[in-house]
Chains A and B, each alone.
Chain A
């Protein structure tokens, strides 16, 4: 009887501690995501959400995590930072163990004060942002290579393989992403001793680049890095084709997605892009696509894109860390186990995940691909290479 009393007492003392971990009950683990789910720029959010749900479905199909099923709450920010802030506060109210979707750089910036305040374990996997890891926080982890590295890699590749005669140029949009692209190109120009012309910035959302490309042509450029997202790639290629400037061009990972390739097809120009995950249509992602067929609905399968891979890998890392905690799942334990991940198998979708570095960042290795929009193919040119 005495022993029974002690057991009951221990359970009573233990239960409140467990109940204090937000998003964790005896039967359930709740994750959260704030993503752009509506509007014209919703494709990263829809893709990332589908990827995260796939990782969750994979775990749930195996019986969940130590008997707990996993589910995810999603808040739509429409790429508006103030809405991202509101969305995260809503998720925190609802109770989430960790945040696995963090929208764009501006939205993440607006969410960081709340993340800091509530010490929410966060996996930044949608859009790489220096603000997430500068300073390094014990509860914020990131997936992906810096834009600097992606463009450094491509300029290096172009200088070694295409060997253009004219100077290198960069045209980038006037936001934090564009600034990183510019920095990557300038870093390559400086380190590799390449000739260059002053960077050109354009207003985000700009569609017509005739004036900018005419100016760059007058400077006799030999290669061009394009720091745009989707429509900017065909916009620039259109002008290059019109002026018969058959020069190598470098693009961000969004250059390799299906939508960009289809929009670029009329201009008959192949181009380079770089990414830290494999092209979704590639052989390397066949297993992922099969998994999606098994676990996702038709609508979600249609929304799969490269952000699905990053969402999947980020969520998988969080769930692996949660699994390592056993039944005693707390946020501290989750953070500790995330920090211990040093070679999580990514199934060939990226380099193996390693968060043990001083930036809490995995998959920093970059693969260069050649996009042929006319044939709608994306051909990997290199393996995943570290430029750090």
Chain B
């Protein structure tokens, strides 16, 4: 029986996983994700692509909020910067998409430092409001910089390719999102095992204690802002590629709330939790649709109630989820895993 805890070296302690079975499962999951476009309809493919894009964004937010403990409501602004940066780099500078997407992330990360610097002295709700205000400023600038961004008329992105995959093709866009999501998850998981990752966790748990142990608060807080926003910017770029048309409306403030909900539902501070949360929240409307279809409410009857009920069911499922499992989906996953690992001795 494997205990899953006893390790003898620091190297093994820091390894992504010490268990080859975990690697096998991860490989199987990626293989299943690669095969998915051949098994689902166009609509489910679009929803799956959205799950992957949301995964990138929430994993990015998790670096700042889950790992470093800095609450941000500015995700919609960072997504907008990434989306517009990517769109403009492709449309106006004709940069290849393979370059435009990472550059959009870097631009977002760099601009986030403007918010990060004044936020160094702020924590909790104060920081949340500061980042919210920053995202409002971003949306304002986009609307008023009409010659550059198209202002209220939006920005149209031509049909381009990324590593030979066309963004206008559903499967192509899915694989682009999958590649970026896998790279992001691997990158962030590795980052968590590095000195920076441990410093962020120390900051989150007790910043004064962390400082007394020699961790440079300014440096690591700004680094967290930069890394998190860069990843969120990449998610924004993917959103722009998926929709091929962006306006300020696409990056409404509700996106920031939704991103936090994904993190809470999935489990704060865990990369796996961020993935589960993103999948759960994006798939919820489809789950609600399926549940209502079971009782024959499909929206074809002309009754508007079905749409309102669908929205209410979505909200209720989130509340129930947080009520029965405050640790989020990752809590359920960990308990289930522990149960099977210890079976038949599990209680």
Bind each other: yes
Q: Please give me the residue from chain B that is nearest to A72 by CB atom.
A: B300
Contacts of B42 in A (CB 8 A): 89, 92-93
The answer to whether A82 touches B143 (Cβ under 8 A) is: no
Q: Indicate if A239 sits at the interface (CB-CB under 8 A).
A: no
CA–CA, A131 and B304, complex, Å: 28
Partner of B43, one of A46, A71, A79, A86: A86
B residues within 8 A CB of A93?
A: 41-43
Which parts of B13-63 form the interface with A (CB within 8 Å)? 41-43, 46-47, 50
Within 8 A of B (CB), among A34-59: 37-39, 42, 46, 49-50, 53
Binds B, one of A268-276, A295-303, A320-328: A295-303
Contact B302 A297 (CB under 8 A): yes
Given known A-B contacts A82-B50, A93-B43, A176-B152, A299 and B303 have beta carbons under 8 A apart: yes
A74 contacts B299, C-beta separation under 8 Å: yes
Q: Taking the complex as formed, is A29 at the interface, i.e. its CB lies under 8 A from any CB of chain B? A: no
Q: What's the Cα separation between A79 and B248 when bound, in Å?
A: 13
B221-260: CB near A (< 8 Å → 1, else 0) gives 0000000000000000001001111011110101000000
Q: Do B152 and A113 have beta carbons less than 8 Å apart?
A: no
A37 touches B307 (CB 8 A): yes
Partner of A179, one of B152, B239, B252: B152
Partner of A176, one of B154, B239, B242, B310: B154
Chain B residues bordering chain A, tally (CB within 8 A): 38
Main secondary structure of the interface of B (DSSP, over half): helix
Taking the complex as formed, is B92 at the interface, i.e. its CB lies under 8 A from any CB of chain A? no
**Residue of B243, B248, B303 touching A110 (CB-CB under 8 A):** B243
Partner of B151, one of A53, A179, A297: A179
What residues on B are CB-neighbors of A74 within 8 Å?
299-300
Query: Closest CB of chain A to B121's CB: distance in Å?
Result: 28
> What's the Cα separation between A92 and B47 when bound, in Å?
14
A82-B239, A93-B42 given as contacts; is B310 within 8 A of A76 (CB)? yes
Instruction: Give Cα A46 to B41, complex, Å.
Output: 28
Which residue of B152, B300, B302, B307 is within 8 Å of A38 (Cβ)? B307
Q: A113-B243, A178-B152 known; A49 and B43 CB under 8 Å?
A: no
The chain A residue with its CB closest to the CB of B289 is A90
The interface size of chain A toward B, counting residues with CB under 8 Å, comes to 44
| Min CB gap B81→A, angstroms | 17
Are A106 and B247 neighbours in the complex by a CB distance under 8 Å?
yes
Choose among A90, A92, A106, A112 the residue that contacts B249 (Cβ–Cβ < 8 A). A106
Q: Does B95 contact A (CB under 8 A)?
A: no
Task: Contact check, A53 vs B152: say whether CB atoms are below 8 A apart.
Answer: no
Is B304 in contact with A175, judged by CB distance below 8 angstroms?
Answer: no
Q: B113 — which chain A residues lie within 8 A by C-beta?
A: none
Q: How far is the CA of A93 from the CA of B302 in the complex (A)?
A: 21
Contacts A38-B308, A76-B299, A176-B153 given; indicate if A113 touches B43 (C-beta within 8 A). Answer: no
| Contact in complex: A175, B249 (CB < 8 Å) | yes
Of B46, B153, B248, B254, the residue contacting A131 (CB under 8 A) is B153
Q: Contacts A86-B50, A175-B249: A81 and B243 contacting too (C-beta < 8 A)?
A: yes
In the complex, whether A151 has a CB less than 8 A from a CB of chain B is: no
A106 to B139, CA, bound (A): 15
A-B residue pairs in contact (CB < 8 Å), sample of 5 = A37-B304, A38-B304, A109-B156, A110-B243, A299-B305
Give B residues with C-beta under 8 Å from A. 41-43, 46-47, 50, 140, 143-144, 151-154, 156, 159, 168, 170, 239, 242-245, 247-250, 252, 254, 299-300, 302-305, 307-308, 310-311
A-B CB proximity, top 6 nearest: A37-B307, A106-B249, A90-B43, A38-B307, A176-B152, A113-B244
